[in-house]
A and B are shown apart, each in its own frame.
Chain A
Amino acid sequence: MGTYPADAVGRGSGVRARGWGWRHAGRSRWALRELDFSIEPGERILLLGASGAGKSTLLQALAGVLGGSDEGEPEGELLIDDRPVADSRGRAGLVLQDPDSQVILARVGDDVAFGCENLGVPRDEMWDRVRVALRDVGLDLPLDRSTTQLSGGQKQRLALAGVLAMRPGLLLLDEPTANLDPAGVTALLGAVGNVLENSGTTLVVVEHRVDVWLPLITRVIVLSPGGGLLADGPPDDVLLARGQELGEAGIWVPGCPPLFPPHRHSPGPLLLSTRELTIGRASTGTVTFDRSVPDAEINEGTATAITGSNGSGKTTLGLTLAGLLPPLDGDVVASPQLRSGAGERPIRWKSRELLTRIGTVFQEPEHQFLTSTVRDELAVGPRALKLAAGEVTERVDELLQRLRLAELAGANPFTLSGGEKRRLSVATVLATRPQVLVLDEPTFGQDSTTWAEMVALLDHLVTDGSSVVAMTHDQVFVDALADREVRL
C-alpha cells in the first residue's frame, strides 16, 4: 500500500565518503579519519564500532548538524546525492537517543510539522504530510494531544514522524531504542520497517544491540577507532568473520552473549521488608500516581529485580525501598540487623545514616555528581561518615583501581563517557559499603563490555553478602543475576 505520493517513492539518497575525516575544535585527535565508502539509494546500513569510534559524529555530519569551522575541522569529501552535506539540509533526517530532548513543541501535530516549516513546505501540504507521517509510525493520536503526556516509546516515534514529514532521502537513527522498554522497541522497529517498505528511503542506524536490527538491515559497516573501516559487507559475513572482535569492542553480537557468572548466592538474614505498601507521588496533597505493591522481602546475599514496563512505578518503588521517597500508605521496615541503632523506617533515617545501610545509584549518573573531580566524588561518602583521612584515601584508591577509574582520577565527572559515568556512580555508592544497594536501570544503553563488567561486579558484591535491588527491563540482566523478581 502506497501511503506516500508518487514523487516521494523511490527517493532514497546515495552517500559517498572520499578520504573524509573530522576533528573537533580544540582536539589533537581526529574523531574520524580516512573514511572511504559509498552507500547506494535504498540500502539499509547498520553502523557499528567501539565506543569512541565516531559513529555519532558520522551520523551528525550526514545530518548536517556538525556545525561550521568553529566547531571543528573536516578533511576530504562527504556527499549526499553528489552534493556536499553542508548543502543538503533536509535530505537527511536524524533521530537521536534521548526521547525527552527531541520533543520541540507542546502539541503532537505542531511538533511533527516543525521540520516542514523550517524547510518552507506550503501550509496545505504540510498537514497532509503530518497526518501521513503519524499514521506511518503508528501514532494514532489527536493532533492537539500534549507531547508531555507521551511515553518514552511514543516520543521516539513522534521524533521519527517529525523527521519523516520532511521526506528525507536518508534516515539516520542514533541508538533510537537504547532508552526504551521492550514494547517500545518493538513498536519503533515496526514503524521504521513500515516506512522503509513504503518509501525506499536509505537507512543508517547506529545501535550496539545487533539482534534488534538484524531483520531490517542489508549491510554492516564497522568503523575502526584508529580511522578507516574495520569491516564492510552483508550482515552474516561481517558478524561471522568479525564476531569475536566486535564482541570485544562492546558490540552485542548475536550468538556471542557476554559470559554470565555462575549463580552462587546464599541468602542470609532478612534486611528489608514491605507491609501493605502503596507507592506513589503526591505533591501538595494531590496524588499524581499511586500503586499498591505485593509484600516483598529482601535478604542479605541476594539479588532482587524490580521489573515492569515504562511508567509502572519501578523507579518509585526502588526509591521508596531506598528510604528516599515516603510511602503513600503501608511501611518499608528495616530489620534490626540493617537498622543497627537507627529507627525502623528508612525514610526517617538521617541522610548520613543511609550511607552504610542503603546506597542508591540513580538512572542518570549526572543527578548524583557533587564535585569536580572523580577522586573527590569518591571521597564524598566516606567524608560524610567522618572517617579518618587515611581511611578515606585508602577506600578511594581501592575503588579507583577496582573500577578502572585510576587514570581518570583528576577528570571532571561530567566529562566522562557514558560507561565511565556509570562505573563512577556505582563506585561512589560502594565507597560507604552499604548493606543494601539499590540501582535504577544499571545496564541502560550500555555496550556489552560495560554490561558484563556491571554484572560481574554486582554478582561479586552479592556473593560477599551484600544485597542488590535493581529496577530494570533488561531480561538478560535479570536472567544473569536475579534470585527474585518483583513484577509491577
Chain B
Amino acid sequence: MRQPFTSVHPFDRVNPVAKLGAALLLAACLVLTIDWVSAGTAVLLELLAFPFLGIRRRVFWLRTLPVWIAAPLTGITILLYGKASGTVYWEWLAIRISDGSIELAIATALRVLAIGLPAVVLFITVDATDLADGLAQVWHLPSRFVLGALAAFRLVGLFRDDWRFLELARRARGVGDTGRLVQIPGLVFALLVLAIRRGSKLAVAMEARGFGGTTPRTWARQSRFGWREWMTVIVGVMIGMIAITVAVTTGHWNFIVG
C-alpha cells in the first residue's frame, strides 16, 4: 500500500471499496469458465485500461512482477500434470504433455494474469485508512473489527525493526553461526512474543482514547460512493461481461462446474 497522499491522480481518490468491488466482480466473471479466449480478452482489455489509472510505469512493472512470474509457472505445472486429452506428445512418469494439457496451460496462465493484474493494480493506489473508512461506512462492517485490523496493520513496520534486532542479537549472543534457515523458527517465535506484547500495549492505548465504548462512533472522514465509484465498478464488470460474451460467441465457453 502506498504512503498517504503522494500523488493526486483522480483515480487515487476513488473509494477503495469500489476498487475492491471491481476486482472481485471481474474475478467472479472469470472463474466461471476455464478457456483461453475469455481470459485472453480480459487481459487485453485490462492492459488497454491500465494507462488511464495514472500509475507510473516503473511502479506498475515492479508491483505486478510477481503476477508475471506466477502466471507462466502455473501454466508449466498444468502443462506437465494437467488432465490429458487428444494427441500425447511426451510422457515420462506422471508427466504427460497433450493437446488438452497445452490448451489448459495457456488458459490457466492467462487467467492468473486476468485476475491477478487488476487486483494488484487497483490496490497500488489504495490507502489503508481510506479502505477501512469505506469498509465500515459503505459496507457497514463492524467498526471495532475494521479499526482493530487497521491499527494492527501499522505494527508491521515495527515488526520489521524487531526482526532486524533479533537477528543482530543472535549474532551478539554467540548463536548466530548456524545457517539462517535453522534460526528462522526461533526468530519467528521470539517475534510472536514481541508482537503479542506490542499488540496489548496498542490495545490499551486505543482504549485510553475511548475505543470500544458504547457511544455510537462518528467518522472524521466521510467515505463517499459517487459516480466515480460506480464507473470503476461498471468498468470492472464490463470487462468481465465482454470476456464472457466473446468466449460464448466463439464457442470456447467452458463452464467450470460439470
A contacts, CB < 8 Å to B: 60, 63-65, 89-90, 93-94, 96, 98, 100-107, 109-110, 113-123, 126-127, 130, 144, 146, 148, 159, 162-163, 166, 319, 322, 324-325, 350-352, 354-355, 359-360, 362, 364, 366-370, 380-381, 384-385, 414, 428-429, 432
Contact = CB atoms under 8 A, between A and B. Distances in A.
Given A110-B129, A364-B165, A101 B201 contact: yes
Interface stretch (B59-67, B97-105, B170-178): B170-178
A350 B127 CA distance: 43
Contact of A93 (B127, B150, B208, B222): B208
B215 interface: yes
B193 interface: yes
Given A114-B211, A119-B210, A162-B209, A126 B220 contact: yes
7 contacts: A60-B204, A96-B201, A105-B151, A350-B177, A351-B174, A368-B173, A432-B174
A366 B201 CA distance: 15
Contacts of A163: 208-209
Interface string B197-221: 1100110111111111101111111
Interface in B78-127: 127
A354 B220 contact: no
Contacts of B186: 370
B205 A351 contact: no
A253 B154 CA distance: 39
B3 interface: yes
B34 interface: no
B129 A351 contact: no
Given A105-B150, A322-B172, A380-B174, A110 B221 contact: yes
Contacts of A63: 208
A113 B220 contact: yes
B interface, over-half SS: helix
B241 interface: no
Interface in B130-180: 150-151, 154, 157-158, 162, 165-166, 168-177
Contact of A65 (B170, B208, B218): B208
A414 B193 contact: yes
A70 B221 CA distance: 35
B209 A101 contact: no
A84 B53 CA distance: 54
Contact of B168 (A65, A110, A120, A325): A325
Contact of A384 (B129, B173, B207): B173
A385 B177 CA distance: 12
A380 B211 contact: no
Contacts of A384: 173-175
Contact of A354 (B172, B202, B205, B219): B172
Nearest to A127: B220
A110 B204 CA distance: 18
Contacts of B193: 366, 414
Which 3 A-B residue pairings sit nearest by Cβ, starting from the closest? A351-B176, A384-B174, A118-B210
A114 B208 CA distance: 11
A354 B207 CA distance: 44
Nearest to B169: A368
A100 B154 CA distance: 10
Contacts of A106: 4, 127-129, 154
Given A94-B208, A370-B175, A362 B165 contact: yes
A105 B219 CA distance: 14
Given A65-B207, A104-B205, A106-B154, A144 B215 contact: no
Contacts of A115: 209-210
A89 B210 contact: yes
B255 interface: no
A122 B218 contact: yes
Contact of A367 (B4, B162, B208, B209): B162
Contacts of A319: 168
Contacts of A104: 151, 154, 202, 205-206, 209
